[in-house]
Amino acid sequence: MKTLSKNLMATAIATLFIAPAAFATNGTNMTGVGAEAVALGGTGTAAFYGAESVIINPALIGKGQGTEFAFGGTLFKPNVSNNGLGGSLMNSSQTTSEGDTYMIPAISLSSRINNNWSFGLGMYGTSGMGVDYGNQKDLMKAGLVQAQTSLQIMRIVPTVTYNTANAGIGFSPIIQYGALDINYNMAVMGGGNVGSGMKSDLGMGFSLGGYYDFSKQFTLGATYTSAISMKYDGQLSTASAPFTMANGGPLASAFSDTLEQPAEVKLGAAYTMGNIMVTGDFKQIRWGDAKGYKDFGWEDQNVIALGLKYSGKGYWVGAGFNKADNPIKKFSATPTGMTMQEQLAAGVGGTKNFFNNIFFPATTEQHFSVGGGYDITKNVTLEGAIMYAPEVSTTVDTTALTQSMAPGASSTNTTKHSQMAYTIQAKYKF
């Protein structure tokens, strides 16, 4: 079994660094990572889920006994469509993105050192977004740019935890890998191909967590995860440059190439009544303070997550709900006489609406989930979860772009977005 564990670990590490980008749910972030967290609505700040807790609240691995290894992944199935520059200039219909299947790996390890200290390690894909309209043939009919965008965020998280009989604190330095690619064809607006190829960066941050058991039944937990600055040379600056030429505006970068992964604050509670556990989390994702995202007009996002779990002899079943408002701000119509460069600087007009709604439609709001686990042996547990996000339709004003081609022409842009996710995971205790 030791040889099997080593082989699984090696495979997981390799998979982590070749995984494609994925759509995410709370903004660009996954609602949860790990089968139990996904099944219970993305909760886990106060509820102990074994080794996968290293990803959610580093302090909680102090509740573990012995050593546990978890290996799994999520098959993510987003369904996204967009109608381009629909309105008085064009009569366009919804075109479906071909980016509809992604694999997201997650592995974790926790081990008790002695009565007070524990060690953990997590390696997982945590965030991503993108679309693929690259095979759209009739651009003018669709009113759509040939957009292909991809953001990948993956993390390696070593963890150390100190715990007493009823409390614990944990610290995780975070090593983050990110890759961003934005390319599109401007034929529908009289231009050509725009893009500079995928660029990547490494960043560092940390996560600090704690918990306190008020009783055997009731636990409170909290975590803080720092912002992590990432720079993708030539990505955002190249993508935004063509929009600065409207109405005689100078060719200049509208955005910098820094796209910071935002800080997060989480509070959670878990209460156990016999075989039933109820858990709830409140999370704030600080998009409004993150470099890059705040330039796009994203706002801080409050997330509420609830989970319910029943544990039987050798099995568990659970369900969850996750609610987060769309963090992407809708901008007002274009003031007369302003160039696109001026609109971007002032935070008004349809140009930012166009970027957000077509290129990065992180718009889903409600998420429903179910899952369960079964002990195959006393050492091995197989777990699974399903998450569903109902369709959300978001319409924004993009008149700024159509007026650059035909003065007086108005337009709107509509994105429709729903999701399915299937998570499977094996846990091995030794």
Q: What is the pLDDT along the chain (430 residues), one digit of tens a residue?
A: 444 334 433 333 333 333 444 445 788 888 888 899 999 999 999 999 999 999 999 999 999 999 999 999 899 888 988 887 665 556 567 788 888 888 888 899 999 999 999 999 999 888 878 888 877 665 555 556 778 888 889 999 999 999 999 999 999 999 999 999 988 876 655 567 777 788 999 999 999 999 999 999 999 999 999 999 999 998 888 887 776 554 444 444 567 889 999 999 999 999 999 999 999 999 999 999 999 888 888 899 999 999 999 999 999 999 999 999 888 877 766 555 555 556 555 555 567 787 788 888 888 889 999 999 999 999 999 999 999 999 999 888 877 666 666 666 677 888 898 999 999 999 999 8
312 exposure class (CB count in 10 Å sphere: 0-12, 13-18, 19+): exposed
Output Rg (C-alpha) for the chain, integer angstroms. Answer: 23
CA distance to 9, 219, 273, 310, per residue, from 277 (Å): 31, 11, 6, 7
| CA angle in degrees (0–180, nearest 5) for 421-424-428 | 155
Q: Does the predicted TM-score (pTM) go above 0.75?
A: yes
193 exposure class (CB count in 10 Å sphere: 0-12, 13-18, 19+): exposed
Q: Return d(Cα 371, Cα 424) in angstroms, integer.
A: 10
Q: Which of 211, 207, 224 is nearest to 270 (CA)?
A: 211
Q: Which of 129, 120, 210, 211 is nearest to 174 (CA)?
A: 120
Contact (CB, 8 A) for 56 and 110: no
**What is the β-pairing status of strands 380-397 and 218-225?**
unpaired
Tokens of 80: 């996204």
The predicted structure's pLDDT at residue 3: 45
Domain total in the chain? 1
Which contiguous run of DSSP H or E holds residue 315? strand 315-324
CATH number at residue 230: 2.40.160.60
Place of tokens 């955005």: 255
| Residue burial 21-55, b: 16+ Cβ < 10 Å; e: rest | bbbbbbbbbbbbbbbbbbbbbbbbbbbbbbbbbbb
The predicted structure's pLDDT at residue 195: 78
Instruction: Please list, in sequence order, all residues whose beta carbon lies within 8 angstroms of the beta carbon of residue 413, skipping any fewer than 6 positions away.
Output: 82, 83, 84, 85, 86, 353, 354, 357, 358, 395, 396, 398
Q: Return d(Cα 363, Cα 28) in angstroms, integer.
A: 9
Q: Which of 253, 356, 377 is nearest to 297 (CA)?
A: 356
DSSP structural state of residue 126: E
Q: Return d(Cα 160, Cα 210) in angstroms, integer.
A: 12
Our CA dihedral for 25, 27, 28, 32, rounded to 10 degrees, sits at -40
Q: Which of 176, 187, 34, 45 is nearest to 105 (CA)?
A: 34
Strand runs (DSSP E) across 52-147, as ranges?
Answer: 67-82, 86-87, 95-96, 102-112, 117-132
Domain of residue 112 covers 2-429
Tokens of 187: 């034929």
